[in-house]
Amino acid sequence: MEGESMEISIKEIAQMLGGKLEGGNKDMKIHRLEKIEEAQAGSIAFLSNLKYEPYLYTTKASAVIVSNDLELEKPVKTVLIRVENPYGAFADLLSAYDQLTQVKKNGIEQPSFQHDSASIPSDIYLGAFSYIGENVVIGEGSLIYPHVTIEAGVEIGKNTIIFSGVKVYKDCKIGSNCIIHSGVVVGSDGFGFAPQEDGSYKKIPQTGNVILEDDVELGANTTIDRATMGSTILRRGVKIDNLVQIAHNVDIGEHTVVAAQAGISGSAKIGKYCQIAGQVGITGHLSIADHTIIGPQSGVPKSITTPGKVWTGTPIMEHRDFLKSSILLRNLPHLAERLREVEKKL
């Protein structure tokens, strides 16, 4: 990350992060945040993944945030800021940097449309070509970027950011401090069709809505379907990556994260603090226990009832069993050859 608008001493950064300083010039000014392998003088980096540790001894960064328990293999030229959690500390620093360098937006750009019945506070930002429908309520400090469509009856909390090109269908509710990235669709119809005797399908009206509680973030081009009846709910602190499909009546528990290209079928109930990796497919009408981890490209055809376990594969199995199966699978050609040799002898 580059930018010269930040200027703060290493000592001040350590105080901000509650870290302990070690070595070097603690009064040196920091101007940039950079990756440890690319950092130059005047920048600060962090070391969390130990596979990058060799860069610690060659980096040109003026300071590096490291763990309290990191043991050095040889001397370093940079100032170390020791903290309990280097990744979390650097995230805090990135947040502070973002606030410092962010261009402040305010006011209503034209052309744009706001229905007379909409409740719009004076301190928000509405970008050009945005559409705010009937009886929409928007909280203080929110930012609505250009080409956003907010349909009738939508409620948006305080300090929520909705980036360009987002569509929020009628009657959906979005909490405070949410971030919705470009191309997201919130509240499109769920995939509901009733099979007919002639083989055709009759559309089932989707009369519910979507509720995003506070501190939810949706990645670009993700889609959240409205409920057939009731609500599709993403609870407080849920984080969704790009290109994720969440179907009607899904309920995702607090602080669960879902990576890119995953798909969650209708009426699935996902617990709290779960981690769902990329390209996972979850069947509808099942439940997943709290603190579950599901590995990439896994298929989930049944409920997971025991909390705190790791699952992988299609269909899923416990991760330890999956690793054993993978070893057997790799050995199949060799085992087949041995079997052929035995058959010849018989």
- Chain centroid to Cα 110, Å, comes to 32
Contacts of 250 (CB under 8 A, 6+ apart): 225, 232, 233, 264, 265, 266, 267, 268, 269, 270
Structural tokens at position 324: 């054993």
- In angstroms, the Cα distances linking 36 to 12, 54, 87, 89, 310 are 20, 10, 12, 15, 31
Contacts of 142 (CB under 8 A, 6+ apart): 124, 125, 156, 157, 158, 159, 160, 161, 162
Instruction: Name the active-site residue from 31, 115, 248, 285.
Output: 248
Structural tokens at position 319: 């991760």
Cα–Cα dist 67/125, whole Å? 40
In the annotation, is 319 catalytic? no
Work out the angle at residue 201's Cα, subtended by the Cα atoms of residues 166 and 210, and round it to the nearest 5 degrees.
30
Q: Which residues are catalytic?
A: 248
